[in-house]
Structure 1
Amino acid sequence: MRTRLQRLFFFVDYLSLRQVMEIGAITPEIISEYVISISPNHEKSITAILTTLRVFLRFLYLHGYIEIDLSLSVPKQNKYSYPSVPSTWESDEVKRMLDAIDRGGPLGKRDYAILLLVAKLGIRAGDIKALKLSDLNWTSKTITITQEKTKVEVTYPILHDVGWALIDYLQHARPVCDAPFLFVRLNAPFEAFGENANLHNIITKYTRLAGITVPRGKRHGLHSLRHSLASTLLEQGASLAVISEILGHVDSKSTSVYLHTDMKGLMACALDPEEVLLGV
């Protein structure tokens, strides 16, 4: 709602510049001219702004504030959407980042365990925040959760290094508290991470400490570690079905985008123009 209000302010400001002070004075012509005014924006931004405007005008019509459904005057973008190539890390970059963590204190122990869960198991940030102590099964060495995004139950193996990182955190870093969650804040009150916490600051901190330079425009959040895991598995010969199961994708189409990151595989599929011309 907050994001949509911010987008709607663009339209309200435009109406103010046009000295349109009443809702009833909005016309299809004004909407058309407004659309032209936002055309320099990025394609995705334009789509979001127009969607918000369409919903707002539809609301006005359904509640009797305007007599004509002006939402029909808002154009729709008929363009194909191609998923971007996922941002990934090189294996040595992931190792350098993990090695940059000072695991001598509680903060380092907690952050190291969190980053390992993403880098080695591909668990989403939201699911890591929601992890509970009861989700850990030390007898079977597994972690079983219901994914926040897909609502599907997934079981992950507690790998050797992941297990020891969790044990180190639980024994020497996690505060004694009544919170059921695995990861909690280290300052009182000891409670779970906030709903809007994306844990982005954790990976940013250790990226800088490791001296890793992130190219402009490249995403380097926790999600990029999931991308790196998928790309590594693909290079090692894992099938898309296996990678999809590991990452918790409901649709394998979501996983197929990682084919674009396997440069060696793509080069092997490339045709030799001379062979084609010679009919070899």
Structure 2
Amino acid sequence: MRWTGFLWSKTMGNMVLIQKVVGRTGTRYVFRPKGYIENFPAACGHIAGVRYHMEQRYWSAPAVAATLRGLSDAVGRDRLEWTYTLVEAPDRAKRRGEGGSEGETRTLPARWQERLLRTEEALRVQRYSWRTVKGYMAHLRGFFRACANLEPGDVTTETVKQYILRRSGAGGYSSSSQHQLLNSLKFWMEHIEGREKTFIELRPRKEHKLPQVLSTQEVSRLFAAVENPKHRCILKVIYGGGLRLGEVCRLRLADIHVDRLQIYIRSGKGNKDRYTTLPQSLIAELNRYVEAYQPDYWLFEGQHGGQYSPRSVQAILKRAVKRSGVNPHATVHTLRHSYATHLLEQGTSLRHIQELLGHNSSRTTEIYTHISSKERQRIISPLDRLTDGGGGEENP
């Protein structure tokens, strides 16, 4: 089958949130309209095994390809919006109810529960990503539990400072976690409580860490260690275009523009669209993959359809790292860092790399100038100028 790279037609209307849930009785697709869709129950009635859960206010059906085809016929495939927060699997919800953070939310006084609800609604209205909403709410639940005996108006900078000190003293509390905690508290205070900007003095000192990068030889060894053609294509697309983990999972067939050698990244970090590179050398391999696996809508789909799981991509990379013997600390994001570094070493300008990666600021992209080894390899160590390695006479 020749790659066509066609574009799917856009259908006007509200979206349908959908999620794959693994429960005690099997795996099902859970879905509900994001807004009002006329005659939605009747349109979904023909799907085999469909059920409506009145208490939770969502529908579910077996996690099979026929369910996705039925939803596509009912509302249009481009109106399915995959999410991870629509509902929790029963076993996970049970564990949290037995003592996890979600279960403990019920013990909060009503005034704090009301703040949680209003904050989450405000975050969703402002279209924060589901991952950011999840992180902010987790931090706020923990903080509100610690302040359960206080009134919201009694929370001061000193209150937050003491909470951070307690968390830091318990260990395992990184500076990035502290940043996100302060961001969540700032959002709550400024958007819900109507306070002025605060907590600036509680920001941790900025860390200057360099990302891990693989050499081109290590990248080749990594790909050679992957036998499954689908898995190999996933890793090559990430490296070949500098994609993030979530971006490769959200790629559609229509996002591959073979004629222009471009990959269209839809709703990347910061809800930004961009184009990045499609390697010429990867087209034939992608054609073979598509012909063999016949993906329906997403470029990489799970066993029962739907978006490929980010955890599965991480597992693919982990196995490849172990088999190839490359840097054991390499992650999926290491391939993105390696892409940018290798582009820089080939002479690509920082401005172009910034656009390909989707960075807001050029300062973010400039970090790769500190990683590139091309210039450093030209530097001769003083030790190499000695007559021997034991501190002998210097060369004239």
| Same fold flag (TM > 0.5) | yes
Q: C-alpha deviations, 1:58-80, integer Å up to 9, x for none? A: 56745xxxxxx6x8775633666
Taking the aligned partners of 1:239 and 1:206, their CA distance within structure 2 comes to: 31
Determine which structure has greater relative contact order: mean sequence separation of CA pairs < 8 Å that are 6+ residues apart, divided by chain length: 1
**Is the CA contact (8 Å cut-off) linking 1:39 and 1:46 kept in structure 2?**
no
Amino acid at match of 1:127: E
Q: C-alpha deviations, 1:43-91, integer Å up to 9, x for none? A: 33223223333444556745xxxxxx6x877563366635531211122
Q: In structure 2, what is the equivalent of residue 34 of structure 1?
A: 163
Q: In structure 1, what is the equivalent of residue 280 of structure 2?
A: 159
Shift of 1:25: 8.9
Out of 159, 164, 174, the residue aligned to residue 294 of structure 2 is 174
Taking the aligned partners of 1:148 and 1:89, their CA distance within structure 2 comes to: 27
Matched, 1:192 2:307: yes
Shift of 1:231: 1.5
Q: C-alpha deviations, 1:204-243, integer Å up to 9, x for none? A: 121123233524xxxx322211211222222233332343
Structure 2 length-normalised TM = 0.52
Flag the 1:172–1:75 CA change in 2: closer, same or farther, 3 A.
Answer: closer
Out of 217, 240, 243, the residue aligned to residue 92 of structure 1 is 217
Q: In structure 1, what is the equivalent of residue 149 of structure 2?
A: 21
Structure 1 length-normalised TM = 0.69
Alignment of 1:201-212 (within 5 A): 201-212=315-326
Taking the aligned partners of 2:153 and 2:354, their CA distance within structure 1 comes to: 52
Amino acid at match of 2:138: Q
Alignment of 1:1-280 (within 5 A): 1-15=133-147, 21-23=149-151, 26=154, 28=156, 30-40=159-169, 41-57=173-189, 61-62=193-194, 74=199, 76-77=201-202, 81=206, 83-102=208-227, 108-138=228-258, 140=259, 142-149=261-268, 151-154=272-275, 156-160=277-281, 162-175=282-295, 179-185=296-302, 187-188=303-304, 190-193=305-308, 199-215=313-329, 220-249=330-359, 251-265=361-375
Taking the aligned partners of 1:223 and 1:230, their CA distance within structure 2 comes to: 11
Which runs of 5 or more residues in structure 2 are unaligned?
A: 1-132, 383-396
> Which one has a larger percent strand, Structure 1 or Structure 2?
2
Taking the aligned partners of 1:88 and 1:2, their CA distance within structure 2 comes to: 29
251-260 or 2-11: which moved more? 2-11
Provide the aligned length of Structure 1 versus Structure 2: 244
**Is the CA contact (8 Å cut-off) linking 1:110 and 1:174 kept in structure 2?**
no
> Which one has a larger percent helix, Structure 1 or Structure 2?
1
Flag the 1:231–1:137 CA change in 2: closer, same or farther, 3 A.
Answer: closer
Identity, % of aligned pairs?
22
